[in-house]
Amino acid sequence: MSSDDASAGGSPGYDHENARQDVIAVDADDNEQGLVNRLDAHTGDGIRHRAFTALVFDGDGRILLAQRAADKRLWDTYWDGTVASHPERGQSQEDATRQRLEEELGITPDQYDDLRVTDKFEYKRYYLNEGVEHEVCAVLKLTLDEVSIDPDPGEVGGLLWADYRHLYEHPRLYRQLRLCPWFEIAMRRDLE
């Protein structure tokens, strides 16, 4: 669909709040190449940009899966592990993660003290006819000392604690969850 079709038809796209935000375009080695419009980065063939996914665990090694809200433009109602987003220019992956954890789930920095980057990978995946993810994605992990959560319903459709290794070893048992591709990649790289 062209940009004219999206704006004229009123379909999800150019009137979306993402059209007013920028992301950091990067090369394959995650070197900054400038800012690009977030919607443009996720449309057509996409533009490679910087992103992160954060995996939140409890003391028993269970991962907190968060279902993406139904009105998300891409991968709506899919299950993510636990939040994913894009850092702003000048913002570290750790600071961006702290911000999104608080905004989406009400998880504050006093609930954990082990936030760390554990991996980074590039991937590209198309979603139906709606858009694309082409990202260099950092993986961050943390363990909650205190698991109180206050999800924002505009961001999160549901929450589920799952045994991380069981989820990885028995994907057919969790097939109905429809996992986000970046989470599946991060989990596979983490546990293989």
Residue 54 host element (H or E):
strand 49-57
Cα-based distances in Å from 161 to 27, 51, 137, 142, 164 = 35, 24, 23, 14, 9
The annotation places the binding site for Mn(2+) at: 42, 49, 86, 133, 135
Q: Which two tokens stand for residue 136?
A: 């260099």
CB-count exposure of residue 80 (10 Å: 0-12, 13-18, 19+): buried
Catalytic residue among 88, 135, 184, 192: 135
Residues annotated as binding site for Mg(2+)?
104
| Strand intervals (E) in 58-151 | 62-68, 79-81, 83-85, 116-127, 131-143
Q: Which residue ranges are tagged as binding site?
A: 42, 49, 86, 104, 133, 135
CB 105 within 8 A of CB 83: yes
Active-site residue flag, 122: no
Catalytic residue numbers read 135
